[in-house]
């Protein structure tokens, strides 16, 4: 019934670049909420959606006065409790911990819309399906729990008080992205920032300003205007690099450019140099901070600014283990990335879905390379066309959002997807799509290994379409017995490309000690890291690792009452922020690799 993205008020615009750089009114804060497990705010007693009623009235979204008798009276937002936005709902009330379904949110705000301006209602992310209403009218819907979306509400705003209502539904469904089965908590709600952005009638919708593919001496990109005067001039300036270039878009509002540069300080983890960049057009001026670096693969090497690099990484979920719940603020994000830095990382894998834009901006600032992923995880409905479109849309939105971030070097199209012909077609199309949107970065996916006795085999023809051979390999936890057994195993990797191991690891309950052959102890986990490092070093093309995972994280699949209690314990840091022994084992490896690749 619903398209992936329906904007009832008007067609969906280009996903706006750099929302933080705009004139924005934040709607963050406390929103009233109503839990709606029976969907009574959406369907009437005959299960007909209120949405379709001719008057557009009814349901929980209609907060107008003077209701008629067909409307719901058995609710009251004003008297309802509140939830913080941005944040998941699960961590905010005991009865919401395991809740999956719909919750209605309501916020009031005041604004004086100016004539000749455009207003976008912007959401950083809502998990999973959002129905958005403004002043009693439907604005649109969106699917996908980790990517931003916005609606043009210029014609719908009142001068003075306005009411926005959001139905957020995190019901898991087989045909969605992700599907019903994952190993993370299905945190629901308005998990990222909400803004109203005020823009000029003709505005800078999007831009890309990056080094050209394989060329350290040329900055390339495009700008895209939307609005009636979309062929007015645009000036891109980077004062620190002595660049100022004016372009005039064609009828579609876009203009591309290519600017030779003589001298540029390149962005890298050791020198995360960001240039002040401004883009101006008409009366509008947007500022950004952009780094310039190149990334490419040559043989089995990964070249960063032309120099071979070893990716000293760690996998991270978008979850604060200490509270716990989704990362809510820049402070939360800094804490996670600082822990990665303490491990001596130069790289992070933001698994298994798009993380907050702020996280990627911090990685830019702190000098951490990034693997960015979409939630094409495990057993997706490979033959469903809508499912594919959904995956492609989420991938596009991720790439559109983060394409100016120097930190991002890999677009990952999925994780541990089981071999089959339909899956191959699905994943190959995604890889092709990623390249069509951005040819300046690497494309990869976390693949699986197969075993034949002591042989650990990587043979997945999808790898032919990828730039890195990346796979998850759980020797010492899911197979192989005690950690020291790993020494008997050997690899058979069919593809001669840089190998970046996306996962290995073992569960350990922080503070639980024993010998290295006792499962769940810190000593077992430490021994897995020690033996894995020795094992992985035998791969000639090994160019990086992102073990699983920085911190313990919540998962409904992890039910051992003594050791897990709904926590996946593969973290190197516990839910109390305590570093386990394996943390230091990995750091030792990374210190060694740092010296080797100096
Ligand atoms: C994996 C998955 C990851 C899980 C992990 C585990 O291979 O990619 O999402 O959490 O294994 O702990 O089993």
Q: What are 204-248's pLDDT values in tens digits?
A: 999 999 999 989 999 999 999 999 999 999 999 999 999 999 999
State how far the alpha carbon of 538 is from the alpha carbons of 472, 511, 532, 543, in Å: 16, 32, 10, 12
Residue with tokens 């010998």: 515
Q: Could you tell me the distance, in angstroms and rounded to a whole number, from the CA of residue 501 to the centre of ligand 1?
A: 13
Look at residues 387, 383, 355 and name the one whose alpha carbon lies nearest to residue 173: 387
Note the pLDDT of residue 62: 67
pLDDT at 9 over 90: no
Q: Is the CB of 568 under 6 A from ligand 1?
A: yes
Say if residues 36 and 104 touch (Cβ distance below 8 Å). yes
Say if residues 176 and 143 touch (Cβ distance below 8 Å). yes
Point out the ligand 1 atom lying closest to the alpha carbon of residue 558. Answer: 12
pLDDT digits (tens, 9 = 90+) for 451-508: 999 999 999 999 999 999 999 999 999 999 999 999 999 999 999 999 999 999 999 9
pLDDT at 7 over 80: no
Maximal CA-CA distance, the chain? 76
Give the residue whose CA is nearest to atom 7 of ligand 1.
Answer: 472
pLDDT at 69 over 60: no
Say if residues 389 and 4 touch (Cβ distance below 8 Å). yes
CA 94 to chain centre: 27
Q: Would you say the pTM of this structure is higher than 0.95?
A: yes
pLDDT at 433 over 60: yes
pLDDT digits (tens, 9 = 90+) for 327-356: 999 999 999 999 999 999 999 999 999 999
Note the pLDDT of residue 390: 98
Q: Could you tell me the distance, in angstroms and rounded to a whole number, from the CA of residue 373 to the centre of ligand 1?
A: 14
Q: Name which residue leads in pLDDT, 60 or 559.
A: 559
Say if residues 351 and 551 touch (Cβ distance below 8 Å). no
pLDDT digits (tens, 9 = 90+) for 152-183: 999 999 999 999 999 999 999 999 999 999 99
Point out the ligand 1 atom lying closest to the alpha carbon of residue 505. Answer: 12
* Beta pairing partners, 347: 313, 369
Give the residue whose CA is nearest to atom 4 of ligand 1.
Answer: 183
**Given ligand 1 and candidates 448, 568, 569, 582, which is best to mutate, with the most ligand atoms within 8 Å of its CB?**
568
Give the residue whose CA is nearest to atom 9 of ligand 1.
Answer: 183
Angstrom distance (rounded) from CA 365 to CA 274: 7
Q: Could you tell me the distance, in angstroms and rounded to a whole number, from the CA of residue 505 to the centre of ligand 1?
A: 9
Q: Is the CB of 185 under 6 A from ligand 1?
A: no
Q: Mean pLDDT across the stretch 396-418?
A: 98
Our CA dihedral for 17, 365, 351, 508, rounded to 10 degrees, sits at: -160
**Given ligand 1 and candidates 182, 471, 501, 503, which is best to mutate, with the most ligand atoms within 8 Å of its CB?**
503
Q: Is the CB of 502 under 6 A from ligand 1?
A: no
Give the residue whose CA is nearest to atom 3 of ligand 1.
Answer: 183
Note the pLDDT of residue 12: 54
Note the pLDDT of residue 73: 81
């Amino acid at each position: 019934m619903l398209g992936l993205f329906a904007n009832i008020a008007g067609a969906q615009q280009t996903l706006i670049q750099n929302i933080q750089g705009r004139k924005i009114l934040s709607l963050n804060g406390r929103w009233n909420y109503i839990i709606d497990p029976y969907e009574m705010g959406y369907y009437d007693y005959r299960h007909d959606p209120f949405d379709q009623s001719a008057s557009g009235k009814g349901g929980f979204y209609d907060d107008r006065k003077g209701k008629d008798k067909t409307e719901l009276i058995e609710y009251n937002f004003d008297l309802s409790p509140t939830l913080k936005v941005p944040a998941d709902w699960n961590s905010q009330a005991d009865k919401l911990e395991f809740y999956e379904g719909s919750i209605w949110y309501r916020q009031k705000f005041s604004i004086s819309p100016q004539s000749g301006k455009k207003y976008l209602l912007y959401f950083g992310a809502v998990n999973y399906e959002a129905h958005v209403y403004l002043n009693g009218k439907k604005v649109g819907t969106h699917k996908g729990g980790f990517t931003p979306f916005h609606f043009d509400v210029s014609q719908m705003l009142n001068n003075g008080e306005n009411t926005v209502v959001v139905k957020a539904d995190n019901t898991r469904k087989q045909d969605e992205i992700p599907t019903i089965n994952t190993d993370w908590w299905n945190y629901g709600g308005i998990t990222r920032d909400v803004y109203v952005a005020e823009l000029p009638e003709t505005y800078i919708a999007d831009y890309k300003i990056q080094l050209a593919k394989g060329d350290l001496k040329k900055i390339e990109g495009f700008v895209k205007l939307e609005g009636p005067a979309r062929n007015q001039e645009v000036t891109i300036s980077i004062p620190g690099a002595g660049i100022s270039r004016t372009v005039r878009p064609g009828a579609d509002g876009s203009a591309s450019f290519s600017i030779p540069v003589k001298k540029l300080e390149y962005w890298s983890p050791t020198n995360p140099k960001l240039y002040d960049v401004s883009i101006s057009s008409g009366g509008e001026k947007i500022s950004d901070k952009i780094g310039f670096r190149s990334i490419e693969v040559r043989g089995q090497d990964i070249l960063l600014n032309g120099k071979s690099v070893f990716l000293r990484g760690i996998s991270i979920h978008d979850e604060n283990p200490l509270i716990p719940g989704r990362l809510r603020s820049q402070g939360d994000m800094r804490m996670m990335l600082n822990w990665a830095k303490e491990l001596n990382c130069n790289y992070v894998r933001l698994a298994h879905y798009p993380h907050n834009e702020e996280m990627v901006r911090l990685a830019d600032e702190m000098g951490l390379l990034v693997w960015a992923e979409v939630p094409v995880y495990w057993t997706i409905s490979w033959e469903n066309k809508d499912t594919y479109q959904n995956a492609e849309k989420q991938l596009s939105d991720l790439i559109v959002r983060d394409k100016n971030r120097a930190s991002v070097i890999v677009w990952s199209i999925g994780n541990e997807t089981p071999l089959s012909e339909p899956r191959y077609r699905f994943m190959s199309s995604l890889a092709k799509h990623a390249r069509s949107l951005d040819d300046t970065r690497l494309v990869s996916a976390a693949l699986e290994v197969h075993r034949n006795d002591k042989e650990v085999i990587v043979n997945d023809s999808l790898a032919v379409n990828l730039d890195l051979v990346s796979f998850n390999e759980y020797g010492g936890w899911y197979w192989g017995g005690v950690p020291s057994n790993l020494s008997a195993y050997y690899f058979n990797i069919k593809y001669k490309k840089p190998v970046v191991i996306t996962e290995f690891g073992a569960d350990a309950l922080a503070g639980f000690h024993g010998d290295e052959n006792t499962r769940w102890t810190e000593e077992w986990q430490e021994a897995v890291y020690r033996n894995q490092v020795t094992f992985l070093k035998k791969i000639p093309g090994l160019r990086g690792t992102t073990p699983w995972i920085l911190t313990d994280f919540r998962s409904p699949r992890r039910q051992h009452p003594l050791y897990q209690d709904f926590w996946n314990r593969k973290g190197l840091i516990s839910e109390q922020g305590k570093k386990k022994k394996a943390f230091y084992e990995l750091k030792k490896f990374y210190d060694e690799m740092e010296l080797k690749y100096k």
